[in-house]
Amino acid sequence: MRHQRTGKKLGRDAAHRKALYANLAGALIEHGRIRTTVTKAKAVKPLAEQMITLGRRGDLHARRQATAVLRSRDVVHKLFAEVAPRFKDRPGGYARIVRIGPRAGDAAEMAYLELVDEEYVAAQREERATAVPAVEEPVEEAAEEPEPPGEADEVDEADDGEAEEPEEEPAAEADEPAEDEEK
């Protein structure tokens, strides 16, 4: 029996479990919100909060301790530069678990594990929302803006209206037989 043994084993050996916790905590710090099972969220939440506490300390030893657990310099940099300063006045409780219902495939209870700071979570959502349209909008704008001025100038200068008359006549001829067939 596992009396007085903290933590879940999650069906993994120690090394796999440690890697899982590091990856989930790193993803939480990087994205601000992750979707996982309730059991994994409960297991990772204390580790993620410990990492944010190390980030609040901000000294070299804390950075090295966080790097030893998270294994990614980019995530540790984001933790110390962006995430931890947002929680400098908060005495703990940096993450929350929000249950979202069962997973479709195996009915495992799913949850969002997210950072509590609403400003941070909102900023992450805005970045994701603006990142996708920002790529599409310039392409659409670039395609729409040059067409009207470019076509009007080129047609007026090159053809002086002669090209417009023959284009209209065949279009009218094509429409008339189609109307006769419909009658």
Q: What are the tokens at 118?
A: 């609403």
Q: How confident is the model at residue 55 (pLDDT cuts 50, 70, 90)?
A: very high
Last residue of a domain, one of 69, 99, 116: 116
Domain CATH code at residue 84: 3.90.1030.10
In a domain, 79, yes or no: yes
- The chain-wide mean pLDDT, for the chain, equals 81
The total domain count for the chain is 2
Q: What are the tokens at 176?
A: 């008339």
DSSP H helical ranges for the chain? 14-31, 38-57, 60-70, 73-78, 84-86, 118-144, 147-158, 164-182
* Region 69-79 average pLDDT: 96
* Region 66-77 average pLDDT: 96
pLDDT digits (tens, 9 = 90+) for 77-135: 999 999 999 999 999 999 999 999 999 999 999 999 999 976 666 777 788 788 865 54
pLDDT above 90 as % of the chain: 57
In a domain, 104, yes or no: yes
For residues 63 and 109, state if they share a domain: yes
For residues 174 and 92, state if they share a domain: no
In a domain, 94, yes or no: yes
In a domain, 137, yes or no: no
Q: How confident is the model at residue 6 (pLDDT cuts 50, 70, 90)?
A: confident
For residues 78 and 158, state if they share a domain: no
In a domain, 124, yes or no: no
Q: What is the rounded distance in angstroms from the CA atom of residue 86 to the CA atom of residue 71?
A: 22
For residues 84 and 26, state if they share a domain: yes
Predicted pLDDT at 109: 97
Owning domain of residue 78 = 14-116
Predicted pLDDT at 40: 97
Q: In what order do the strands lie in the sheet with 109-115?
A: 33-37, 109-115, 95-102
In a domain, 127, yes or no: no
pLDDT above 70 as % of the chain: 69
For residues 109 and 150, state if they share a domain: no
Task: Report if pTM > 0.75.
Answer: no
Of 22-31, 72-81, 138-147, least confident by mean pLDDT is 138-147
Q: How far is CA 152 from CA 44, 83, 160, 168, in A?
A: 62, 52, 11, 16
Q: How confident is the model at residue 2 (pLDDT cuts 50, 70, 90)?
A: confident
For residues 157 and 103, state if they share a domain: no
